[in-house]
Amino acid sequence: MRFELTAPPHVRPATSVTRVMGEVLLALVPATIAWVWFFGPGILYNMAVAAAVAVACEAGALALRGRPVAPQLLDLSALVTAVLLAFCLPPLTPWWITATGAAFALLFAKQLYGGLGYNPFNPAMAGYVVLLISFPEPMTRWLPPLGDTLGLAAASLDPWQTLRFTLTGMLPEGLSWDAISGATPLDDLRTQLSIARTVEEVRAGQLYGSLGARGWEWTANWIALGGVYLLWRKIIRWQIPVAVILGVCVPATLFWLLDPSGHPPPTFHLFSGATILCAFFIATDPVSAATSRSGRLIYGFGIGVLIFVIRSWGGYPDGVAFAVLLMNMAVPAIDHFTRPRTYGHAG
C-alpha cells in the first residue's frame, strides 16, 4: 500500500487571513450601527463607494502585476481598508473624494509596495491623510450628531437627501453649509481655546457630553465593544490598544492637572475623535505595526502621545492619522531594538 507524503506538521491552522479580516469587519458592525444612529446613513454610502473603488483598484493592480486576483480579493483586506477609511470621513462626503482616498490607499499605499503584507504604512490612514491635505474644507465639514440643538443634525437629512449629496455634492434645496454643519468638538475646542476661552466654558457648550463629545462618546463605546470582541477572538492582542490609550491618557492627565483651563481632561481625549477607533482598529493593523510584545507597547504608546501632541499643539484638530503614519515609519527601528531574548541565550 502506498501513502501520500506531506511534510510535518500535519495539523492545519484553524485561522486564515480571510477569517482575521472577516472578524475585523464583523467587529465594526456595532460601531456602524451607532454611526448611522448619530450621524445618519452617510457612512453607509461612503463605505459602499470606498469598498467598490478599493476592490476594483486591488483587482486591477493585481492583474497588472500578474498576480492571481481571486485569492487576494477573497482575503477581505481591501474591504477592511475601505471600511476604516469610511469611518474617518464626514458623513456627508461627495463620492469622488471618497473614491480618491480609497484609490490612493489601495494603489499607492498598498499595491505599489507589493500588496498585502508589504505596505509599511497603514493604507486607510495614508488615503485619509491625502484627502485631509487635498480637501481640507469638505473633510472638516462634520454635521453635529443626533440630539444636538445647535445645528442641524446629519441624521435629520433623510437617506435619499444624503445619497443625493454623496452622488452630486449638492445639499437639499434651501439648505446651506452654514446652516447645518458644525465643527467637530475637537475642532471647536481648538478654536475656542485659541481665542482664550477656558475648557470649562467651552465644555459647557452644546457639543459636549458627560465624558467627551456628545454623540461621539457613544460611538466610541460601540467601537470599544467591537475591540473587546477582537481581543476575545484573539484577532488582536492587548498591547497596542492599551498602549495607545495610555499614550493619550498619560500626557493628557499630566497637562490637565497642570493647567485645567487650557487642557481638556483625559476622558475627553479618549471619547472624542478617533482615539478608540485608532486603539482597537487602526493601530492594530498587523502589517504596519511593530511585532514583538514590547515593540507593540512602544509603538502604541508613541501613537497615543503623538495624538495628544498633534491635538494640543499641531495644525490639525485630530492627529490619529498622522500619529499612526509617523509611528509606521518607526516600526523597523522598533522591531530591531525589541527582539525578544531567545530561549537559552543571555538577555
Partner 1 sequence: MSEARLWRFHGGLKLDARTARPAAESLGVVPVPRHLVLPLSQHVGQPAEPVVAIGERVLMGQPIARPSGYIGAKVHASSSGTVVEIADRPVPHPSGLSAPCIVIETDGLDEAWRGYEPLPAYSELTSNDLRARVRAAGVVGLGGAAFPTAVKLGAGSGLKLLILNAAECEPYICCDELLLRERPEEVLTGAQVLLRALGIDRCCIAIEEDKPRAKSALEAAIAAAGETRVTVVSVPALYPEGGERQLIKVLTGEEVPARGVPPDIGYLCQNVGTAVAVARAVLHGEPLVSRIVTVTGDGVARPRNLEVRLGTPIAALVEACGGYTDRASHLLMGGAMMGFPLADDSLPVIKGTNCIVVASREEIRPRAAAMPCIRCGECAEVCPAQLLPQQLYWHARSGELDRLDEYHLFDCIECGCCDVACPSQLPLTQYFRFAKTELWARDRDRARSDLARERFEARRERIEAEQEARRLRLEEKTRAAERTRGDEGARKAMIDEVLERVQARQDENDPDEPGR
Distance separating alpha carbons of residues 274 and 286, to the nearest angstrom: 19
What sections of 195-316 are H helices per DSSP?
A: 199-203, 216-232, 239-258, 266-271, 275-277, 293-313
Q: How far is CA 266 from CA 43, 257, 258, 260, 316, in A?
A: 27, 10, 13, 11, 19
73-102 footprint of partner 1 as x/- string (CB under 8 A): --x-x-------------------------
Considering all CA atoms of the chain, what is the largest pairwise distance in Å, rounded to the nearest integer? 87
Distance separating alpha carbons of residues 78 and 242, to the nearest angstrom: 26
In the complex, least distance from residue 346 CB atom to partner 1, rounded to whole angstroms: 9
Q: How far is CA 18 from CA 15, 59, 130, 343, in A?
A: 8, 16, 28, 32
Please, which residue, 32 or 119, has the CB nearer to partner 1?
119
Torsions phi, psi of 8, nearest 5? -70, 160
Joined together, the cell numbers standing for residue 296 give 507593540
Does the footprint of partner 1 cover residue 174 (CB under 8 A)? no
Torsion, Cα 248 250 252 255, to 10 degrees, reads: -150
Q: Tell me which of 5, 64, 196, 204 binds partner 1, using CB under 8 A.
A: 5
* SS3 state of residue 180: helix
Q: Tell me which of 46, 72, 111, 275 binds partner 1, using CB under 8 A.
A: 72
| Span 291-330, contacts to partner 1 by CB under 8 A | 291-292, 296
Q: Tell me which of 42, 90, 101, 115 binds partner 1, using CB under 8 A.
A: 115
Does the footprint of partner 1 cover residue 340 (CB under 8 A)? yes
In the complex, least distance from residue 14 CB atom to partner 1, rounded to whole angstroms: 8
Does the footprint of partner 1 cover residue 332 (CB under 8 A)? no
In the complex, least distance from residue 282 CB atom to partner 1, rounded to whole angstroms: 15
| Span 28-47, contacts to partner 1 by CB under 8 A | none
Does the footprint of partner 1 cover residue 278 (CB under 8 A)? no
Please, which residue, 313 or 345, has the CB nearer to partner 1?
345
Q: Tell me which of 56, 152, 250, 287 binds partner 1, using CB under 8 A.
A: 287
Q: Which residues bind partner 1 (CB under 8 A)?
A: 1-17, 19-20, 71-72, 75, 77, 115-118, 237, 286-287, 289, 291-292, 296, 335, 339-345
